[in-house]
C-alpha cells in the first residue's frame, strides 16, 4: 500500500500509525509512479492521533521529534521513505537508534539530516543581505532544503537592531524579523528600494573579492566544490552584473 | 567610505597571509552587532580555492622593515597606502551587516615605528569594540618589537592574536628578515600566553584572546627540512600553547638574490599540514612522523608513510582495536574512527558495513581486518599501490582534482 500524505508533521504521524503494521508500506508526500495493482490511500492529518503518536515516540526517543522536523525539511525526493524507515526502527527497537551506525535506515536518516544541517551552516556564510532605503535588510535565497526560518536565530543574534527578511524565492515564502518578533509569511515577489550606499558597498565587496584572490594559484574546481554554482545566484561577488533594483 | 584603490592596495598586500580561521571564540553580542561562531564560518571562496571568512586587510603597507621575501618591504617599488582606523571600522561594520564577512583580520606593515604601527592597530580594534559596538571575530596581528603594554591592551579586544614566526630558524631569519629576531617574535607570544593563563585562572571579567594565538611560517624560502619544521611546530603547540601553526609555501613575489626563483611545491605544504593534523588530533609526535633532518615523502601521506615503516603493528581488527589505534590506520580519520567505535557496539562489522558507512577503504584495507577477514595487499606490492606516482613529478600532480584530497586540504583530515 502506498500512503500519500501532505508532508506536514501531523500527517506524517497519522500516516505512520496506519503504515507501521503494513510490511509493504510506502510513505510519500510527492508524486509517485504507481505499479500495476498497487493500492493507494490518501492520509489526512488527524490531530488527536498525531499527538498520540508523537508523544509515544518521544517517550521512546526524546530527540526524534526534532529530527523529524529536519527530515521533513529535506529537499531529497525520498525523504518520506527515509523518515519512515528511521521511525519504524525506533518503534521496533523501542528506543533511540541513532548510534547504530551500520544500520541502513540510520545511515540514510543521518545523511539526510546532515545535508539539511550542512546547508543551514552554508547559508550562515553564503546568505547576502542588501540594505533597503528604510534600513531593513533583505536576503533572497534558494536553498535545496526548506530552511529559511531556521536561518533566523543566527542572524537575529548578530543583528538585533536590524529588521530583516530572508526570502526563499523557490518556495515563495519569507522568514521575517521585524526588530522584535519572527514569523513566516508567504511572499511571491519583493520590490526592494535599495539604500543610497548599497551599490557602493557591493562594488567595494567585489573589489575586495577580486583583490584577495591569488591568480597564479587558480583552482576553480576546488572553489566550485566548496561553493557550488547553484548558490552563486545571489552572491554579488559572483553575479556578473549589478544586483537589485535601485 | 574607503576608496576602491586603497582597499585594493591594502588587500593585495595582506592576501599572502594564510590564516583565515574564524573559529574558537564564543563571544556574545553585548548590545551591538555581531558575535563569535565557535565552529567558524566561510562566507565565500575565491578562484584560488581559498575561503573568505575574515576581512583580511592591512592598516598600512608602508613599511620601515626590509624583509627580503615580503612585497611590502621598504625598498620595494609598490604603491603605498594607509587607512585610518575609521575607514577600517566602517568597512567592517558595513561588510558584516551584509554578511559578507565573519569579522576582521587586521595586520599592518611596520609603519613609521613598531610602536606607532601597534598603536594604530590597537586604536582600530578598541574603536570597533567600544564605539562601534562590534562583537564579531577579530584576529589581530602583533607587531614585533612593539611595546608590550600596547600588545597586552590589544589582547583585551581581539579574539585571537598572532606573531608570525616567519622562518623556521634563527639563521634564516637573520639572513632574510634582518630587523626581526627569534626573540622579538617568540617573547611576545610567551608573554601573551602567560597573561592569558593568569586571566583565566583568576576568572577576570571581559576577554583575553578567547581564541588564543596562532603563528605562520614560510616554507621553501630557506633550507630547513620538514623534520626541523615539525619539531618547531610541536614545541610551539606544547610549550607556547598555540592553537594553530600555519605554513605558507613560498611564492616569489619579489626577486632577490637570496631567495629561490621558483615557488615551493604546494604538495610539500599540503604534507606539512597533514603532519600538523597528526600532531594535533591523532596522537602522533614529530619524532614518529619524520626524523630530524629528513623531509616528508611527497608521494605518500605522512600517516601512510609511518604505517609502512611500522608494518609489524598491522593489520588491526576493526572490531577490537581501541580508538587510538584506529586513528593510526591510514585512511581512517577522526570521523570514521568515531563511526566504527559506535557501530561496533551493536554489531560485528565486516567490509560491507564499512563501505556502507562510507569509511574510505582505498588505503585502510591494507591495514585492517574486518571480522577476521583481510582484503589488502602486503609486502612490496603494498608500497607501489599506495604511492601517488613518481615523486619527481609529484609537484605537477593536480592533487586537488581528486575529491578526497581536496576535502582533506580544507579540513586536514586524513
pLDDT tens column, B13-56 = 999 888 788 998 999 999 899 999 999 999 999 999 999 999 99
Residue with the larger pLDDT of the pair B370 and B16 = B370
pLDDT confidence of residue A129: 98
Does the pLDDT at position B409 exceed 80? no
Does the pLDDT at position A243 exceed 60? no
> What domain range includes position B361?
302-387
Lowest-pLDDT choice from B130-139, B306-315, B372-381, B398-407: B398-407
Does B406 fall in a domain? Answer: no
Q: Which residues of A touch B43 (CB under 8 A)?
A: 125-126
Q: Which residues of A touch B410 (CB under 8 A)?
A: 226
Mean pLDDT calculated for residue range B307-315: 94
Percent of chain B with pLDDT over 70: 93
Q: Which residues of A touch B55 (CB under 8 A)?
A: 208
Q: How many angstroms away from the CA of A164 is the closest CA of chain B? A: 11
List the single best residue of B48, B338, B348, B411 to mutate versus A (max A Cβ within 10 A).
B48
Of B29, B44, B403, the CB nearest to A235: B44
Q: Which residues of B touch A211 (CB under 8 A)?
A: 7-8, 11-12, 15
User: What does the alpha-carbon distance between residue B81 and residue B85 come to, in Å, rounded to a whole number?
Assistant: 13
Q: Which residues of B touch A214 (CB under 8 A)?
A: 15-16, 46, 48, 50, 251
- Residues A190-230: pLDDT tens digits? 999 999 999 999 999 999 999 999 998 899 999 999 999 99
Please give the tally of structural domains in chain B. 2
Residue B262 forms contact with A (CB below 8 Å): no
Per the listing, cell 583568576 goes with: B202
User: What does the alpha-carbon distance between residue B230 and residue B273 come to, in Å, rounded to a whole number?
Assistant: 10
pLDDT confidence of residue B383: 79
Q: Confidence band (pLDDT; 50, 70, 90) for B254?
A: confident
User: What does the alpha-carbon distance between residue B413 and residue B394 come to, in Å, rounded to a whole number?
Assistant: 20
Does the pLDDT at position B406 exceed 60? no
Among residues B212, B241, B266, which one ends one of the domains?
Answer: B212
Checking DSSP bridges between strand A164-168 and strand A173-177, what pairing results, if any?
Answer: antiparallel
DSSP string over B263-318: PPPHHHHHHHHHHHHHHHHS---HHHHS-TT----SSS-HHHHHHHHTGGG--EET
Q: Which residues of A touch B403 (CB under 8 A)?
A: 225
Q: How many angstroms away from the CA of B192 is the closest CA of chain A? A: 29
Mean pLDDT calculated for residue range A113-134: 98
Q: B186, B177 in Cβ contact below 8 A?
A: no
Q: Confidence band (pLDDT; 50, 70, 90) for A244?
A: very low
Q: Are residues B71 and B171 in the same domain?
A: yes
- Residues B123-175: pLDDT tens digits? 999 999 999 999 999 999 999 999 999 999 999 999 999 999 999 999 999 99
Among residues B160, B193, B212, which one ends one of the domains?
Answer: B212
Q: How many angstroms away from the CA of B51 is the closest CA of chain A? A: 8
User: What does the alpha-carbon distance between residue B341 and residue A60 come to, in Å, rounded to a whole number?
Assistant: 23
User: What does the alpha-carbon distance between residue B104 and residue A123 come to, in Å, rounded to a whole number?
Assistant: 20
Does B189 fall in a domain? Answer: yes
Q: Are residues B208 and B306 in the same domain?
A: no
Name the strands in the sheet holding A2-4, side by side, starting at the edge strand that comes first in the sequence.
A26-28, A2-4, A40-42
Radius of gyration of chain A (CA): 22
- Residues A151-180: pLDDT tens digits? 999 999 999 999 999 999 999 999 999 999
Does B268 fall in a domain? Answer: no
User: What does the alpha-carbon distance between residue A114 and residue A137 come to, in Å, rounded to a whole number?
Assistant: 29
Q: Confidence band (pLDDT; 50, 70, 90) for B283?
A: very high
pLDDT confidence of residue B19: 79
Q: CB distance A124–B37 less than 8 Å?
A: yes
Peptide bond into B361 cis (omega under 30): no
Residue B44 forms contact with A (CB below 8 Å): yes
User: What does the alpha-carbon distance between residue B40 and residue B22 come to, in Å, rounded to a whole number?
Assistant: 5
Chain B 263-302, residues with CB within 8 Å of chain A CB atoms: 266
CATH of the domain at B191: 3.20.20.70
- How many CA atoms are closer than 13 Å to the CA of A135, on its beta-carbon side? 7
- Residues B205-244: pLDDT tens digits? 999 999 999 999 999 999 999 999 999 999 999 999 999 9
pLDDT confidence of residue B392: 43
The closest alpha carbon to B11, from B62, B61, B69, belongs to B61
> Which long-range contacts does B257-264 make (Cβ < 8 Å, 24+ apart)?
B258/B68, B258/B175, B258/B176, B259/B68, B259/B69, B259/B176, B259/B221, B260/B220, B260/B221, B263/B220, B264/B219, B264/B220, B264/B221
Radius of gyration of chain B (CA): 23
Does B294 fall in a domain? Answer: no
- Residues B51-94: pLDDT tens digits? 999 999 999 999 999 998 888 999 999 999 999 999 999 999 99
Q: B128, B138 in Cβ contact below 8 A?
A: yes
Of B29, B44, B342, the CB nearest to A209: B44
List the single best residue of A118, A125, A237 to mutate versus B (max B Cβ within 10 A).
A125
User: What does the alpha-carbon distance between residue B184 and residue B180 come to, in Å, rounded to a whole number?
Assistant: 6
Cell numbers at residue B105, please?
Answer: 583580520
Checking DSSP bridges between strand B44-45 and strand B103-107, what pairing results, if any?
Answer: unpaired
Q: How many angstroms away from the CA of A38 is the closest CA of chain B? A: 31
Q: How many angstroms away from the CA of B42 is the closest CA of chain A? A: 5
Q: CB distance A237–B34 less than 8 Å?
A: no
User: What does the alpha-carbon distance between residue B310 and residue B292 come to, in Å, rounded to a whole number?
Assistant: 18
pLDDT confidence of residue B393: 42
Q: CB distance A219–B49 less than 8 Å?
A: yes
Q: Which residues lie below 8 Å from residue A112, measured CB to CB, with a gap of 6+?
A: A70, A71, A74, A76, A79, A82, A83
In degrees and rounded to multiples of 5, residue B52 shows phi and psi of -105, 115
Q: Which residues of A touch B97 (CB under 8 A)?
A: 129, 131, 137, 159, 162
Mean pLDDT calculated for residue range B294-320: 95
- Cβ-based neighbour number of residue B85 at 10 Å: 19
**What is the average pLDDT value for chain B, to the nearest integer?**
91
Q: CB distance B100–A220 less than 8 Å?
A: no
Does the pLDDT at position A23 exceed 70? yes
Q: CB distance B251–A214 less than 8 Å?
A: yes
Q: B68, B166 in Cβ contact below 8 A?
A: no
Checking DSSP bridges between strand B51-52 and strand B44-45, what pairing results, if any?
Answer: antiparallel
Of B7, B47, B345, the CB nearest to A204: B7
Q: B331, B362 in Cβ contact below 8 A?
A: yes
Q: A65, A10 in Cβ contact below 8 A?
A: no
Burial B60-72 (b: 16+ CB within 10 A, else e): bbbbebbbbbbbb
Q: Which residues of A touch B99 (CB under 8 A)?
A: 125, 127-129, 139, 155
pTM of the model: 0.91
Q: B227, B292 in Cβ contact below 8 A?
A: yes
Which helix (DSSP H) or strand (DSSP E) does residue B395 occupy?
none
Does the pLDDT at position B403 exceed 70? no
- Residues A51-100: pLDDT tens digits? 999 999 999 999 999 999 999 999 999 999 999 999 999 999 999 999 99
Residue with the larger pLDDT of the pair B407 and B227 = B227
**What is the average pLDDT value for chain A, to the nearest integer?**
94
Q: Helix, strand or coil for residue A137? A: strand
Percent of chain B with pLDDT over 90: 80
Of A101, A121, A129, the CB nearest to B98: A129
Of B99, B342, B400, the CB nearest to A222: B400
Does the pLDDT at position B400 exceed 80? no
Of B11, B94, B266, the CB nearest to A212: B11
Cell numbers at residue B212, please?
Answer: 588564543
Q: Helix, strand or coil for residue B5? A: helix
Q: CB distance B47–A220 less than 8 Å?
A: yes
Q: Which residues lie below 8 Å from residue B165, measured CB to CB, with a gap of 6+?
A: B182, B185, B186, B215, B216, B217, B232, B236
Q: For chain B, how far is it from start to end, CA to CA, in angstroms? A: 44
Interface contacts A/B by beta carbons within 8 Å? 156
- Residues B376-396: pLDDT tens digits? 887 777 877 777 554 444 444
Among residues B185, B212, B239, which one ends one of the domains?
Answer: B212
A195-A177-A188 Cα angle (round to 5): 75
- Residues B163-174: pLDDT tens digits? 999 999 999 999
Residue B90 forms contact with A (CB below 8 Å): no
Amino acid at each position: 500500500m502506498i500512503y500519500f500524505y501532505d508532508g506536514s508533521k501531523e500527517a506524517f504521524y497519522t500516516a505512520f500509525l496506519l503504515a507501521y503494521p503494513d510490511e509493504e508500506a510506502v510513505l510519500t508526500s510527492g508524486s509517485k509512479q504507481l505499479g500495476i495493482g498497487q493500492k493507494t490511500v490518501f492520509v489526512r492529518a488527524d490531530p488527536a492521533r498525531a499527538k498520540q503518536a508523537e508523544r509515544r515516540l518521544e517517550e521512546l526517543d526524546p530527540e526524534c521529534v526534532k529530527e523529524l522536523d529536519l527530515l521533513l525539511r529535506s529537499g531529497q525526493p525520498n525523504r518520506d521513505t527515509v523518515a519512515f524507515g528511521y521511525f519504524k526502527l525506533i518503534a521496533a527497537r523501542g528506543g533511540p537508534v541513532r548510534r547504530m551506525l551500520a544500520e541502513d535506515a540510520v545511515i540514510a536518516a543521518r545523511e539526510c539530516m546532515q545535508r539539511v544541517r550542512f546547508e543551514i551552516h552554508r547559508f550562515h556564510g553564503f546568505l547576502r543581505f542588501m540594505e533597503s532605503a528604510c534600513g531593513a535588510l533583505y536576503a533572497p535565497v534558494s536553498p535545496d532544503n526548506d530552511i529559511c526560518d531556521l536561518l533566523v536565530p543566527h542572524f537575529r543574534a548578530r543583528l538585533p537592531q536590524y529588521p530583516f527578511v530572508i526570502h526563499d524565492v523557490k518556495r515563495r515564502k519569507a522568514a521575517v524579523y521585524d526588530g522584535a518578533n519572527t514569523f513566516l509569511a508567504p511572499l511571491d515577489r519583493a520590490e526592494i528600494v535599495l539604500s543610497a550606499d548599497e551599490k557602493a558597498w557591493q562594488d567595494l565587496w567585489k573589489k575586495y573579492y577580486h583583490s584577495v584572490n591569488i591568480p597564479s594559484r587558480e583552482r576553480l574546481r576546488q572553489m566550485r566544490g566548496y561553493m557550488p554554482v547553484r548558490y552563486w545566484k545571489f552572491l554579488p561577488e559572483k553575479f556578473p552584473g549589478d544586483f537589485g533594483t535601485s | 567610505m574607503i576608496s576602491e584603490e586603497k582597499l585594493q592596495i591594502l588587500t593585495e598586500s595582506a592576501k599572502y597571509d594564510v590564516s583565515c580561521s574564524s573559529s574558537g571564540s564564543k563571544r556574545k553580542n553585548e548590545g551591538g552587532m555581531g558575535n563569535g561562531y565557535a565552529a567558524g564560518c566561510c562566507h565565500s571562496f575565491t578562484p584560488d580555492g581559498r575561503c573568505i571568512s575574515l576581512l583580511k586587510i592591512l592598516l598600512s603597507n608602508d613599511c620601515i622593515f626590509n624583509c627580503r621575501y615580503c612585497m611590502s618591504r621598504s625598498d620595494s617599488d609598490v604603491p603605498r597606502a594607509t587607512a585610518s582606523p575609521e575607514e577600517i571600522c566602517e568597512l567592517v561594520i558595513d561588510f558584516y551587516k551584509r554578511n559578507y564577512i565573519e569579522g576582521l583580520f587586521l595586520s599592518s606593515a611596520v609603519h613609521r615605528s613598531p610602536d606607532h604601527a601597534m598603536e594604530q592597530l590597537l586604536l582600530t580594534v578598541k574603536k570597533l569594540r567600544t564605539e562601534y559596538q562590534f562583537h564579531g571575530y577579530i584576529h589581530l596581528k602583533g607587531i614585533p618589537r612593539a611595546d608590550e603594554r600596547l600588545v597586552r591592551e590589544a589582547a583585551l579586544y581581539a579574539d585571537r592574536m598572532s606573531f608570525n614566526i616567519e622562518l623556521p630558524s634563527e639563521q634564516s631569519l637573520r639572513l632574510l628578515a634582518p630587523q626581526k629576531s627569534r626573540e622579538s617574535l617568540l617573547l611576545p607570544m610567551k608573554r601573551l600566553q602567560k597573561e592569558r593563563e593568569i586571566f583565566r585562572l583568576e576568572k577576570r571579567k571581559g576577554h583575553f584572546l578567547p581564541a588564543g594565538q596562532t603563528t605562520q611560517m614560510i616554507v621553501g624560502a630557506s633550507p630547513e627540512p620538514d623534520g626541523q619544521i615539525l619539531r618547531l611546530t610541536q614545541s610551539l603547540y606544547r610549550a607556547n600553547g598555540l592553537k594553530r601553526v600555519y605554513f605558507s609555501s613560498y611564492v616569489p613575489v619579489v626577486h632577490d638574490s637570496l631567495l629561490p626563483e621558483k615557488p615551493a611545491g604546494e604538495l610539500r605544504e599540503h604534507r606539512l599540514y597533514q603532519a600538523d593534523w597528526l600532531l594535533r588530533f591523532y596522537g602522533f609526535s614529530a619524532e614518529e612522523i619524520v626524523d630530524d633532518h629528513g623531509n616528508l615523502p611527497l608521494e605518500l601521506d605522512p600517516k601512510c608513510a609511518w604505517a609502512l615503516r611500522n608494518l609489524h603493528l598491522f593489520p588491526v581488527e576493526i572490531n577490537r582495536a581501541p580508538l587510538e589505534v584506529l586513528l593510526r590506520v591510514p585512511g581512517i580519520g577522526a570521523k570514521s574512527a568515531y563511526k566504527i567505535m559506535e557501530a561496533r557496539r551493536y554489531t560485528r562489522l565486516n567490509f560491507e558495513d564499512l563501505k556502507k558507512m562510507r569509511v574510505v577503504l582505498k588505503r585502510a584495507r591494507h591495514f585492517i581486518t574486518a571480522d577476521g577477514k583481510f582484503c589488502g595487499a602486503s609486502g612490496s606490492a603494498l608500497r607501489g599501490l599506495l604511492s601517488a606516482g613518481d615523486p619527481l613529478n609529484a609537484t605537477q600532480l593536480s592533487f586537488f582534482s581528486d575529491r578526497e584530497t581536496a576535502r582533506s586540504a580544507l579540513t586536514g583530515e586524513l
